[in-house]
Structure 1
Amino acid sequence: MALEQWKIADMTLTWLNGGVTHMDGGAMFGVVPKPLWERKYPFNERNQIELRTDPILIQVEGRNILVETGIGNGKFSEKAMRNFGITEEAKLEESLALLGLTADDIDDVLMTHMHFDHASGAAKWEKDTLVPMFANATFWIQEIEWEELKKPNIRSKNTYFEANWQPIAPQVKTFRETAEVVDGIQLIHTGGHSAGHCIVNIERGGEKILHMADLMPTHAHQNVLWVLAYDDYPMESIAAKQKYLLPGIEESAWFIFYHDYKYRALKWDKEGKTIEEAVLRKSGTE
């Protein structure tokens, strides 16, 4: 099992194997016509696009910080596996073992939001009981997100699963606008995709790195108007992309991805037209 590692500033970033989904391309690109998005991202015979769910391990200052948790194991029925195009479940513990780590070595988990494809790896089955995957970690979750997932509405109940939040409840630390876990690594509340959606902003050693999470789940969503049909508040998504994505491109920031089939990280030119540097997924399509 190959893991992509990327050393930048004083950090090491490693993408763990969190599983893979294949979601409807039309839903993932919202109102964007297929003749436009199909030029930028491949799709299968069911019109689904490949979306990795690979958590990003950030090692810095002696801490192991995980961004997102993957789709876990044994969390979905056969019907759900088919509907969500899940062709591979998580291998988080195996990935960590390759680094000489266990799940107990994770200090912090940064959750951009708690939709099932980001949060299902937070707990695991031990016989018939769900227990925390990362027993020693603090889970950082925006307070609106935390409250909504406990009382989901008719729409959000299809993605906020009790099995993903109840086992970790004693480990959760909520915040309102920002949470800085270590110096220069910050969760920022944006809303848009969900009411409590956040991005991760990293500024260390003169480098700026942005994880836009589901505001820009893939490199093909760079256009600020290309937002998901899954977004609860699409105009907020657009505003957040204008606020963080566009200045990030102009500032030569790196962008890292949890879902992208091809890119782990990339940097565009200042006009956002050309990819100048990239970290590719080794088993992805070149």
Structure 2
Amino acid sequence: MEKLQVGRAELTWLRGGVNHLDGGAMFGVVPKALWARKYPTDEKNLIELRTDPILLQLDGRNYLIDSGLGIDKLSEKQIRNFGASELSFVEESLSELGVEPTAIDGILMTHLHFDHASGLSKKGKEGYETIFPNAIIYTTAIEWEEMRHPNIRSVNTYWERNWRPIEHQVETFADELEVAKGLRMIHTGGHSEGHAIIVFEDGEDCFIHMGDLMPTNAHENKLWALAYDDYPVTSVHEKQEWMEYGYNRQAWYTFYHDAYYRAIRFNERAERIDAVERARVLKGERFN
């Protein structure tokens, strides 16, 4: 498992699952001739996407950033449609680190689409139950409202089986929330109306988790928005603001979906000056 130290914060990437989606949908109106230079595609135009939560250990507390695909949330049809080649090993990853699910203090949800929220719960004796019983689950109030009352478009990604088991653990916020000293969640909208990013600052050290505003390293260009975005113009403006902010801080940008990079650091001229690559080692597969 890859690690990164940023000031007081230690980040470790867990195995949350793998799916494959159409490259055109992931890059919106950007011509394939441009995006394919930056992110590989297969013969079906599918690109590999991780769904790997980040364990964030800070000041003696354990946080997760998003939760993975889960282990029993997708039907056989959904596994085919979403190109899922591996489901979640989050609990096993935590066990390797000596961290029990009960030791997770908080979960920072950028948003609640199925590929980010399915790992919050699993099947128990009497239906689905929470995996992290002692964690506060942080999300924006807008996102939580749509999760429970999806519209005709979002009903395919906001699932009752993902929110019902954990509703007693949810704490919402409006614009910004300081979870711990230097650790903030900030509402951006864009990908979804309630989407949030995560910013950590400790002196000169900084990381920014852009969520699905910049799901892969190839999405650095502020104009490259996803066809999946509910509000692509908002995505563009928010990405522009937070990329400029991070460049000036020489911040690390961390990824949940990228199959090749865990994190990349840029300087004030938007040049890559450091990176954490993902070790592409297949240890096994898990399906429903």
Fold shared per TM-score above 0.5: yes
Partner of 2:284: none
- Superposed structure 1 runs of 4+ greater than 3 Å apart: none
Q: 1:93 aligns with which of 91, 94, 100?
A: 91
What is the identity, as a one-letter code, of the residue corresponding to 1:77?
S
Is the CA contact (8 Å cut-off) linking 1:10 and 1:205 kept in structure 2?
no
Distance 2:148 2:129 in 1: 18
Measured after TM superposition, the shift of residue 128 of structure 1 is: 5.1
The 5 A counterparts of 1:53-202 are: 53-127=51-125, 129-202=127-200
Q: What are the Cα deviations for residues 7-55 of structure 1, in whole angstroms up to 9, with x where unaligned? A: 2212211001101111110000000010110000001122111110000
The root-mean-square deviation of aligned C-alpha atoms, in Å, is: 1.3
Distance 1:102 1:251 in 2: 34
Measured after TM superposition, the shift of residue 157 of structure 1 is: 0.3
Partner of 1:43: 41
Partner of 2:278: 281
Structure 1 SS opposite 2:12? strand
In the alignment of these two chains, the number of paired residues is 282
Partner of 2:5: 7
Is the CA contact (8 Å cut-off) linking 2:204 and 2:249 kept in structure 1?
no
For structure 2, the 5+ residue unaligned runs are 282-288
Question: Against the structure 1 CA distance between its residues 151 and 84, is the aligned structure 2 distance closer, same or farther, given a 3 Å change threshold?
Answer: same
Distance 2:146 2:245 in 1: 30
Distance 1:38 1:90 in 2: 27
For structure 1, the 5+ residue unaligned runs are none
Distance 2:140 2:65 in 1: 14
Q: 2:227 aligns with which of 226, 229, 244?
A: 229
Distance 1:20 1:214 in 2: 16
Q: 2:27 aligns with which of 2, 26, 29?
A: 29
What is the identity, as a one-letter code, of the residue corresponding to 1:61?
D
Structure 1 SS opposite 2:133? coil
Identity across aligned pairs (percent)?
A: 53
Partner of 1:242: 240
Moved more, 204-213 or 111-120: 204-213
Q: What are the Cα deviations for residues 36-78 of structure 1, in whole angstroms up to 9, with x where unaligned? A: 1000000112211111000001111110011000000011111
Is the CA contact (8 Å cut-off) linking 2:249 and 2:267 kept in structure 1?
no
- TM-score (norm: length of structure 2): 0.95
Distance 1:238 1:5 in 2: 29
Measured after TM superposition, the shift of residue 109 of structure 1 is: 0.2
The 5 A counterparts of 1:213-224 are: 213-224=211-222
